[in-house]
Structure 1
Amino acid sequence: MTEWITNTMNSLGYMGIALLMFLENLFPPIPSELIMPLAGFTVSQGKMELIPAIVAGVIGTILGAFPWYYFGKLVDESRLEKLADKYGKWIFVSATDISKANQWFNKYGNIAVFLGRLVPGIRTLISLPAGINNMNMSSFIIYSTIGTLLWVSLLTGSGYVLGDNYELVEQYIAPVSKIALLSIIFFFLIWIIRKQMKK
């Protein structure tokens, strides 16, 4: 993976950064935690400029967010509720639960998208509920861009500072990603247990 990312970036330059970050949003196993620190390391070697590298990363990420957003629009709330009514009993989710979750997202969607772009493991998936809830496109782009800009700048700056040791960024962030996903699963299980106890 590292060799492929390095070769892509070396051969395509800024376009390679954008392409890799686009693909990272479509296929989460491709880690931004490796792409952007490598870009920062390349900047430290004088082979790239910092601002264009960050801009390329942001553009690639935002373009990669659109497929998931539009997939969410295809799914839409009514289809989810029908699926929940039909199959939700197996995971203890009802149409009412879907409706409540969507009401929550409609209320806090802007901040959810912004914060979601800063959390490994959730960065890609946050576009899905935004599409499902028909989040205003301009708001989606604005809050996604702000969150992405912070994330990409942090990773690129870390790679620049660490130099040859840029791969350490991924090693330190990988556990955070796992903790975030495990936390989501944990809270989902707690929610299911509490729901069953109420019944």
Structure 2
Amino acid sequence: MSEMIHVIEAWLMEYGVFGLFFVSFADSSFFPIPPDVLLIPMGISNPDSVLWYAFITTVASVLGAILGWFIGKKLGRPVLRYIISEERIQKVEDYFTKYGAMAILISAFTPIPYKVFTIFAGISNIRLRVLVIWSIIGRGARFFLEAAIIMVLGAQAKTFIEENFTMLTLIGGLVILVVYVIYLVIKKRNKTA
């Protein structure tokens, strides 16, 4: 499987920006290859265009998230019923409805499979506008952070990102979660006061 993924990566790399757009779009809804595998080498080989590549990756990823949302909206629930009980689907939906925006933001920024959250946003009837806004913020932050690292470190960025980026994004996701919980606590306190 890993060999096949590398073949697909190499093939997509030949298409440059179009390959980057495709993999970014597809990753947000159905494809197993993350756009980082093209964004990083393309950015390192052409650092003057790395911000443009980050922009293309963000836009395509958000457009793919919209497709994921439609997949969830139209097909998700009937398919899920074959895998898990309606009760469990409802429980996940309740959590997603309550914390959906933060779930989208965290999954968009971290290595958590983003496509699962875009599809669940559709299943849970999260407003499309909410998905788009938080996807732009999360995906943009992720891909422009990679671009900034490439701009600063040049060729060494690949090694740095491979060794540290997952931890950086997980820490970032944790910080977002802590800030959100603090916000909820303050909001609840103000309501009871």
- When the two structures are superposed, what TM-score results if normalisation uses the length of structure 2? 0.68
Q: Give the Cα separation in 2 of the matches to 1:3 and 1:95.
A: 39
Q: Give the Cα separation in 2 of the matches to 1:163 and 1:100.
A: 46
Match of 2:20 among 6, 10, 17: 17
Letter in 1 for 2:106: L
* 1:2-54 CA distance string (max 9 Å, x none): 68656755x655444322312333312x233322222321342x4xx343222
Once superposed, what is the RMSD of the aligned Cα atoms? 3.0
Which residue is equivalent to 2:100? 109
Which residue is equivalent to 2:69? 69
Unaligned runs of 5+ in 2: 170-193
- Please state how far the C-alpha of 1:109 moved relative to its aligned partner: 0.7
Compare CA radii of gyration and give the structure with the larger one. Answer: 1
Q: Is the 8 A contact 1:21 1:57 kept in 2?
A: yes
Q: Is the 8 A contact 2:51 2:147 kept in 1?
A: no
- When the two structures are superposed, what TM-score results if normalisation uses the length of structure 1? 0.67
**Count of aligned residue pairs for this structure pair:** 163
Unaligned runs of 5+ in 1: 89-93, 178-199
174 and 140 in structure 1: CA distance in 2 versus 1, 3 angstrom threshold: closer
* 1:87-131 CA distance string (max 9 Å, x none): 64xxxxx43332122111111111111111012142221101101
132 and 110 in structure 1: CA distance in 2 versus 1, 3 angstrom threshold: same
Match of 1:143 among 130, 134, 139: 134
Q: Give the Cα separation in 2 of the matches to 1:64 and 1:2.
A: 22
162 and 2 in structure 1: CA distance in 2 versus 1, 3 angstrom threshold: farther
Moved more, 137-146 or 13-22: 13-22
Q: Give the Cα separation in 2 of the matches to 1:132 and 1:165.
A: 41
**Are 2:121 and 1:130 equivalent residues in the alignment?**
yes
- Please state how far the C-alpha of 1:154 moved relative to its aligned partner: 1.5
Q: Give the Cα separation in 1 of the matches to 2:9 and 2:164.
A: 19
Overall identity of the aligned pairs, in %? 22
Q: Give the Cα separation in 1 of the matches to 2:164 and 2:124.
A: 34
Letter in 1 for 2:124: N
Q: Give the Cα separation in 1 of the matches to 2:94 and 2:139.
A: 25
Which residue is equivalent to 2:109? 118
Stretches (4+) displaced over 6 A? 174-177
Q: Give the Cα separation in 1 of the matches to 2:116 and 2:80.
A: 19
* 1:45-96 CA distance string (max 9 Å, x none): x4xx34322211111111222332111112355x47854xxx64xxxxx433
- Please state how far the C-alpha of 1:160 moved relative to its aligned partner: 3.0
More helix by share: 2
Which residue is equivalent to 2:57? 57
Task: Please give the secondary structure, in 2, of the residue aligned with 1:31.
Answer: coil
Match of 2:146 among 133, 155, 159: 155
Q: Give the Cα separation in 2 of the matches to 1:3 and 1:100.
A: 40
Letter in 2 for 1:51: L
Which residue is equivalent to 2:31? 27
